[in-house]
Amino acid sequence: MDVTASSAQAAERLNFRLTAEQKQLIETVRRVTQARFKPNALRYLDGTFPRENLRALAELGVAGMTVPEEHGGLGMGTLESALVLEEIAKGCYATAMMMLGEIGVQCRIVSYFAPDNLKRKFLPRIVAGECVMAICITEPDAGTDAARMRTNAEVRDGRVVLNGAKTLISRADVGDLFIVFTRVDRRPGGEGIGCLLVEKGAKGLIAEAKYHTMGGEMLSEVRFEDVEVPAENLIVRENGIRRLFAAFNVQRCLNSAICLGSAEGAFDESVRYMQIRQVAGHPIAEFQGLRWKLVDMYKEIEAARGLLYRACVSGTDFPDPMQAALAKIYCNEMAITVTSHAVQMHGGYGYTDEFPVSRFFRAARFGGLGGGTPDMLRDLVARRVFDRIDPGEGILSLDTF
């Protein structure tokens, strides 16, 4: 056996270096984030939607970057989307959340499941930054357990009539296109769930911004009162939960990317602050306890990055469910820990709006609330471990390399 050749082949497979194109993408987004988004991040704490930032990203070609090339997009994958969101989140949480709606699960659902004529209608507008999308899943009595949803779409003679209510919906108050997961013809269970596209202005569609979040984003209640749309807008008629969960493995990676970026932003602020803040005539960067704390923060960030990037490239169309779940659990919890340490390092200043670490701390807390909670995802991982592990052969980790 040629050990040298084998090691070289293994090194090639385990090469986690980014391509020149990916690095250029990051640098382009970094420049606009640091120059334009971060200095104005404070203005979005009141729930103002950063529409001007959407226009700026559309000019860069980043809005709708996952849209297939035949519809004007860049056709980029999950890793590139995560890299972009990570970079934006280092500067402005509100802008990152806005972009999550333009390159995340909503865009994937339209790209994968809509008929060609609806793709031609909506996808170029997404690329141009002219179509804000809101995905409507959560109901007052159906959150994590989406199969319990009551909203219903009834198919009638070439039309679909939608009735029901959704809650805690992002971007609904400014949405142009609503991607609504709903029961179809009252069929029970997850098999009876479909997906319907509803445009802004549809008669009977009511979206009211009701909840102001600690991160600054507004969440809405959405009601559908005999909303009527063409039958072709029912882009998924059955087994919508299964398709939603497949697409949501992308969302779990992108949620994690925002958490990672928030943690990195807080870490960067802490490094700068430790170099200028003095106690007893010495910068606090010289204090061993704080230096070690900083190293622990960096260690957690790098571990999260490894899990996330690995998850992003773990599947062809959608990431592997187990890898996406592991990344989200770790990134959600890491971000809370790292940003909390960053606030503490800043002392009283860290608790003020004027210092970015307070915003990063609030941004980090969103991660574990959407796209599957860490508790629920731990159950998912546990089921897969028991399903896949061979008691005689041992742990399954090496299967993924």
Residue 364 has pLDDT above 60, yes or no: yes
- For residue 127, CA distances in Å to 41, 56, 339 come to 23, 12, 33
In this structure, whether the domain defined by 133-238 belongs to CATH 2.40.110.10 is answered with yes
CA 297 to CA 295: how far, in whole Å?
A: 5
| CB-based burial, 260-283: b 16+ in 10 Å, e otherwise | bbbbbbbbebbeebbeebeeeeee
Is the pLDDT at 216 greater than 70, yes or no? yes
What is the percent of the chain where pLDDT is above 70?
Answer: 92
C-beta of residue 274 within 8 angstroms of C-beta of residue 284: yes
What Rg value do the Cα atoms of the chain yield, rounded?
22
Average pLDDT, the chain: 90
pLDDT reading at 9 higher than 60: no
pLDDT at 11: 47
Structure tokens at 216: 């600054």
One-letter amino acid of 28: T
CATH hierarchy code of domain 15-127: 1.10.540.10
The CATH architecture one would assign to domain 242-394 is Up-down Bundle (1.20)
Sign of CA dihedral 196, 197, 200, 201: negative
Range 96-103 average pLDDT? 93
How far is the CA of 210 from the CAs of 47, 122, 146, 171, 222, in angstroms?
A: 11, 27, 22, 12, 10
- Provide the CB-side half-sphere exposure for 81 (13 A, CA): 34
Kindly tell me if the per-residue pLDDT of 400 is higher than 60: no
3-state secondary structure of 186: coil
At what angle are helices 105-113 and 240-276 packed, to 10 degrees?
150
Rounded to an integer, the average pLDDT of 17-34 is 94
User: In this predicted structure, what is the pLDDT of residue 183?
Assistant: 93
Task: Measure the CA angle with vertex 324, ends 323 and 330; round to 5°.
Answer: 90
Q: Identical fold at 15-127 and 133-238?
A: no
Q: How many CB atoms lie within 10 A of CB 259?
A: 33
pLDDT of res. 325: 95
Asked if residue 274 lies in contact with residue 294, where contact means CB atoms within 8 angstroms, the answer is: yes
Q: Would you list the domain boundaries of the chain?
A: 15-127, 133-238, 242-394
At residue 304, φ and ψ (nearest 5 deg) are -65, -40
Helix, strand or coil, per DSSP, at residue 123: helix
Do the strands 282-283 and 278-279 form a parallel or antiparallel pair, or are they unpaired?
Answer: antiparallel
Q: What 8-state DSSP symbol labels residue 393?
A: T
Place of tokens 């209510």: 165
Q: What is the pTM of this model?
A: 0.92
With the CA atoms of 224, 121, 191 and 81 taken in that order, what torsion angle do they form, in degrees rounded to the nearest 10? Answer: -100
Burial track 178-209 (b if 16+ CB lie within 10 A, e otherwise): bbbbbbbeeeeebebbbbbbbbeeeeebebeb
pLDDT more than 90, % of the chain: 77
Q: Any residues with CB less than 8 A from the CB of 115 and at least 6 apart, and which? A: 232, 235
Spatial separation of the C-alpha atoms in residues 381 and 337, rounded to whole Å: 22
- Tally of CA atoms within 13 A in the half-sphere of 227 that contains its CB: 27
pLDDT for res 6: 54
**Residues 92, 38: contact at Cβ < 8 Å?**
yes
Region 361-372: mean pLDDT is: 92
Q: Is the dihedral of CA 66, 69, 71, 74 positive or negative?
A: positive
Identify the residue whose tokens are 């559908």: 224
Which segment of 100-109, 233-242, 250-259, 346-355 scores lowest on mean pLDDT? Answer: 233-242
Q: What confidence tens digit (pLDDT) does each residue in 100-157 have?
A: 999 988 998 999 899 999 999 999 999 999 999 999 999 988 777 777 889 999 999 8
| Token pair belonging to 395 | 């742990």
Structure tokens at 261: 């970026």
Decide if 262 contacts 360 (C-beta within 8 A). yes
330 or 241: which leads in pLDDT = 330
Q: What is the residue type of 205?
A: L
Q: Find the mean pLDDT for residues 61-85.
A: 93
Helix, coil or strand: residue 174:
helix
Handedness of CA 395, 396, 397, 401 (dihedral sign): positive
Between 395 and 172, residue with greater pLDDT: 172
Name the band, by pLDDT with cuts 50, 70 and 90, for residue 38. Answer: very high
**Maximum mean pLDDT: which of 8-12, 30-34, 277-281:** 30-34
